[in-house]
Amino acid sequence: MQSIHKYLLLLALTGIIASCKKSIEDYPQERWEEDVVFDPRDSVGNYARQFLMNVYSYLPNHYAGVNDNALIEAGTDDAVYRYPGSTIESFVNGRWTSWNMPDNVWSKYYTAIRRANTFLAKIDIVPLKTAGMKDQWKAEARFLRAMSYFELLKRWGGVPLLGDAFFDLTSNVDFARNSYDECVQYIVAECDAIKDKLLKENTIADGDFGRITRSAALALKARTLLYAASALNNTSNNATKWQAAAQASKDIIDLGYHALNSNFTTLFTTRRSTEVILGFQAGTNNTLETNHGPIGYSGTGAGSGLMNPTQSLVDAFPMKNGKAITESGSGYSDQNPYANRDPRLAATILYNTATWLNRPVELYTGGRDYDGSQTGYYMRKFLGAFTTSTGYSATNHNAMIFRYAEVLLNYAEALNEANATAPEEAYKAIESVRQRAGLTPFAIARGMSQADLRKLIRNERRIELAFEDHRFWDIRRWNIGAETINKTVLSGVAVTKNGSTYTYAYNRPVLTTAAWDDKMYRYPIPVAEIEKSKLLIQNKGW
């Protein structure tokens, strides 16, 4: 079977249409496409497979950004976009509405759901000869549908569940919203129903890597249950919801297949790893480097510096000895701020004097890279190994959807919240992530209070999963929008060069004005959707 990332580069259906001899005038175009794709004479199922690969293209790809290539973390306390007044800034300053909103993917994911339903309704027409293939493809389509519902759910709360409804041009598509819990139950039930019909992660061939596996279905279930157990959606703090979330993560751990990659930096430029549960497969490119690399380079090393990490995120990284920079005995110096820090800092953020493209990055006032960052920092994570290169070359960039480190942190969080005293497994899960990071010592003192361990886990998520489409949603599911956005002064570092030394001041202003409103825990349903439906009810406050 051909590699999935090649399929995702195709405009599959246009290729099919161009090659067909049926008259486009015989039927409405959509009906005609489906008759061509789901052919009762196609025992190989080539066209049907390409249709399914088109549904794969709707998987979330946070590398693509929200607006103007801005990653969604530029709408949190972790980063700002290079250009003040950008659309993504609306998430922080509160200037977004149901008419004008960033990240409007309502139509995208309902299109994916509709296409998955079309596939499921039509695939039995195709007489596939390969045993078990049809069941596998159906399971993949059901996963893609469930994933689309999760992406809608985390943004809008309860949304209309369409079931297996197959629509044509005469169908009534006016549906009321299901409740949040009903959507959770649907997603979880789908994951349970399909998991054993999917490819097993320990047997998948290289050419099939990127296809939905059993562990991907388990990971979607685990994340869905984690969100459902969190404060925003579990106002009574029902411990059984946390227990279910913990068990769902443990089910992945108990598979015995997934493990942390030994090298944190190369994880994001390696197509296949036991840590990767599911990623958005793409061809090699240097788009991330040109979008997010420092601005002071030229030629094939030119960058736009779009994502500027905040001082708040930098300060969240502990010292290599595991102690917070504010903790007694940490060894932190505010005039040598990047020495002896958690190795993930250098793998995540480019700071003044960090080596990039064969020279130190110049983020001091007047330096070659200074004007490209509002905060004195650039994003390093996901970018290729270009420390000693002179330009960017094509690199693997497969946006993580699920990876094993998240599963471990999900597990630790759920165990801590489900128990007044966290069990040993919670500590061990966190320690696995810290050990891979290179902290020495990586061990955590036992007997921490639930509140203290919660604080540690949340910080560990922030630094381990930085820029991976988690912080934005963690702030919401933890119900900490007001304290995180309103009470955080978004700032950077001002660096002055004095001969061969540097002076650091941590009061460089960022132009974003924070203004949290609790209605921002949910997105507004786009006004165009409200106007089309008599049954859709807008989210509170919008």
The answer to whether residues 301 and 391 touch, using CB atoms and an 8 Å cutoff, is: yes
- pLDDT score, position 15: 38
The answer to whether residues 273 and 250 touch, using CB atoms and an 8 Å cutoff, is: no
Radius of gyration of the chain (CA): 24
Torsion of CA 419, 425, 429, 430, to 10 degrees: 60
Cis peptide, bond prior to residue 441, ω within 30 of zero: yes
> Ramachandran region of residue 382, left (φ > 0), alpha (ψ -120 to 50) or beta?
left
- pLDDT score, position 131: 84
d(CA 231, CA 482): 14
Residue type for position 102: P
**What Cα–Cα distance (Å) separates residue 525 from each residue in 10, 133, 380, 530?**
31, 38, 34, 7
Q: Which tokens belong to 262?
A: 């030994």
Q: Which tokens belong to 485?
A: 């956005």
d(CA 331, CA 178): 53
Paired with 103 in beta bridges are: none
Paired with 350 in beta bridges are: 378
- pLDDT score, position 170: 61
Intervals of the chain under pLDDT 50: 1-2, 7, 9-32
At 69, phi and psi to the nearest 5?
65, 20
Chain centroid to CA 541: how far?
Answer: 27
Length of the chain as a residue count: 542
At 361, phi and psi to the nearest 5?
-70, 135
**What Cα–Cα distance (Å) separates residue 63 from each residue in 59, 258, 309, 527?**
12, 23, 16, 27
List Cβ neighbours of 45 (8 Å cut-off, separation of 6 or more): 126, 128, 133, 134, 137
**What Cα–Cα distance (Å) separates residue 197 from each residue in 191, 272, 397, 504, 535?**
10, 22, 28, 56, 36
